[in-house]
Amino acid sequence: MLKLTLRNLLRHPLRAALTVLGMALAILAFALLRTMVEAWYAGVDASSPVRLVTRNAVSLMAILPVSHEAKIKAVPGVTGVGHAYWFEGVYVDKKHFFPQFAISLPGYFELMPELLVPEDQKLAMLRDRQGALAGRKLAARFGWKVGDRIILQGTYFPGEYQLVIRGIYRGRDPSTDETMLLFHWDYLNEQMKKLSPERADKAGWFLVQIASPELAGDVSARIDSLFKNSLAETLTETEKAFNLGFVAMTEAILLAIRAVSWVVIGVILLVLANTMAMSARERLGEYAVLKAIGFRPRFLTGIIMGESLALALLGGLLGLALTPLLILALPASVMQYFGVFNVTSATLAIGLGVSLAVGLLAAVIPAWRAATVGIAAALRRVG
């Protein structure tokens, strides 16, 4: 059976090559689109179960007074609190987008153990009010080294901010974002006191560490009750729920991407099914001869299934092998919007499973026709 399957596979080399190439492109597109969706959810997957986020109850754009921090820290079950601000600055050109955060130090380092920083760089960062910490991927993108000076032009926050790269962090986990720039909230606050006093002593959100995940609901309720009916009411939620809120803003786009990925698989299924139907139609006479000399229908089914699976698997493996190479070749203008963009083992396994499923489904009808064809009718049709 294996020998016959291989011979049938190579009977029309051009047709087989084009089918394998089409299958490879379909699986490549499927894996790439799935990786894009996973990258969008990277922040959700990296969320810690012992971290909460407290923000303004009105919206994320509304701010909170830093004085809230002391009250939050006193809530039972809270083991650490830090505050941060999203900083929307321009580096050189507006097209150079990357996440920028003004964070309270040194507290934030203790709250985010997934950011691995050499001790000497961490100390230098803490000592320098204008010090900044860059992710490994971000530093590689711009060629930054420790000691380099950069300038961010404020947009939401007025003014020009001169920073010194004092450290480069790497992620503890594959899902850790290595494209962020972190600098002192104190430095931003000093600038605000000079340029925009009404924004001074404010924070975008508080990062709250709790003793155990089971306390999340109780601690969240306690924190929000502290500021109920105040001028700055809060909404406290788990870090995962907070990150999911950002993803929900683009849920329609992600749904469209998923739909397109499965449409691509449906198209290649039809292409491969057509190829196998053509092959089976051309060989009806051969199948009739095999049945006449004693071969059972399951033998014919095995030959057709084997050929279809071989074409699908060859194309699938080629497409999956090309996916990481294509991701490496993507321009920085695309990659800048994704903190994590890696092909996961789950994506590779699903791609392989889809290839097998396409191979099996494409061969169902041709195999059934070959197994049920009448010997006399098939030979008469050939003649």
Each domain of the chain, given as residue ranges in start order, spans 2-42+250-382, 58-232
**Partners of 132 in beta bridges:** 165, 183
Q: What is the pLDDT of residue 383?
A: 45
Question: Where in the chain does DSSP place strands (E)?
Answer: 51-56, 64-65, 78-86, 89-90, 100-103, 115-116, 131-135, 149-154, 160-171, 181-184, 202-203, 205-210, 234-238
Give average pLDDT by consecutive 10-residue segment, the chain, 383 residues: 74 85 91 84 77 90 90 94 91 85 90 92 93 92 93 88 94 86 94 89 93 93 92 90 75 81 87 79 71 77 83 91 85 64 85 90 82 68 52
Helices (H), 91-143: 107-111, 119-127, 136-142
Query: Which amino acid makes up residue 313?
Result: L
The CA distances from residue 68 to 114, 117, 232, in Å, are 26, 29, 9
The predicted model scores a pTM of 0.72
